[in-house]
Structure 1
Amino acid sequence: MACIARSMDRTQTREASANPADAIEIHEVDSQRAPVRLPDVGPAILVRHMLGPYLGEADVGAPGASRLLALRAGATLIEDLQLGSRLRMARPFHAIDVVIPWSVLDIIAIQAHAAPIEGLEASSGVDLADPTIEHLIGAMLAPLGEGFFSSRPYLAHLKLALATHVAHAYGRPRPHERLARGGLAPHLLRRAQQILQSNLQAGLSLVTLAKACGLSTRHFARAFQESAGVTPHQWMTTARITAAKAMMRQTALPLAQIADLCGFSDQSHLTRVFKREEGLPPASWRRDHRQTRESCRGVGGVIGAVGPN
């Protein structure tokens, strides 16, 4: 079970508060007819309701994490778009996609006099088997015969009902936390570190990271350093070194492959950064710290399980 965490800024809340239903986007997607393109609405979650069965590979959870999905017609999936997942499916599929901005969920919490939602608890790529979502989306499909989602007030009511159900059924209330002066709130710091850790190999721009936390780039960079004691780039470098150490200890992979898996441009880049941070080249460090061959295990899980102390 993965905790899908998030953040948002006040501007998004003001924009969504005018009419929350307008901020929720709903589309019929048929990959055989047209490419599937998710709207760019900032921090949001995707609710995908399958109109037909699906058996094939799909990218779920962390970017590049592909696995076989066997879904029934009527299955419902939830993915956090700001984590990098786009729920790309390798084979043709037919579904209804509902994109709910996090700002709408915040408004729902405010109107219910509830604590803001820190995140959603859901398993990536797993059918929720939620009859309420199935019935609501089924009701949304009723106007199809008269034109796709043609009844605007009716659809607006159903979209808000769906978002409210998602918030109440899967929302995780945020504990009360004080914002450190000049720094990030603890949940935002954890969120940023989680995103950095999940993107060691591919890397991540500061603009993207700040957007995922609902902050301006300048504010985020300053607040992250105030809270973590290092810049986001320095934090990621330390995380990459930590991941490389774990792989050198626990696998027999060559240094060039470890460099690539940990996000270094090549082996010489790994060597240069590692020697600067640790005082000796990685090959020497590996000789001193490598486990016996009998205790070595595969690379799976190494990158995701390690991070700076």
Structure 2
Amino acid sequence: MSFHTSVDFASIMLSPSPGMEAAFASDRTHQFNAPAGAVVINPADIDRTLRWSGMKKNVAVAFGRDAYAALAATELDGNSWDLRPPKFGHVDLRALRIGTAMAKELSAIAVNPVYLDALMTVLAVHIIRTYSAHKTTRPMMQARLPGHQVKRIREYIHQNMAENISILSMARIVQSSPSHFIRAFTLTFGMPPHQYLTKVRLEEAETLLTQTNLPIFEIAHRSGFSSQSHLTNTMKRLKNLTPGQIRAAGNAGFSE
């Protein structure tokens, strides 16, 4: 496979691929074994060729230049963030953990976009801090969100739970970088943003199930789930109950 892209991206091997061949920006071909966890960093605007035999299982993540540059500016002391690829076959266990989580989420019946968004943010920060040309990084903030920001975030989530909420949109509410926001949110709420958002959506769905006669598919939509089956699967996984069971238990005797 020969290709050229205008964006930076990273490939993380999820299973071993022996005897790979690669050539970047030159005619010289490198042959190497790629174990699980091997990372190939692909800077933008460089021609490359990859060859392999047999099945190759990997996660490839591309980063938009504007979003990536903005994230780099918050993570590095200065915004020189040109990528410097490691040697072919280099293993990065942290990237492997993130890539495995991404692959698992992408294979789920209903993908949680906030969780996937958070994983991509964490991966981008890791790559910036580990493989950029500029090695002076800013210390990772470990502070909780102050009370007035907690109030604003709660209000934003409750008012927009039916919409596609992103990590970036929540970070902007508190004027923080996405990576700092994820850490501060988790310290403050005791869970990462995607778990808290799912909790809020389930609570809203339970309220609508027990206090209205709305169809379950409409309740799913109003509480931010992509479909009735998404609501059902999430509720069964986290509460061991179906929407119908919750309605039967809590809505007995309800009349409009």
TM-score by length of 1: 0.38
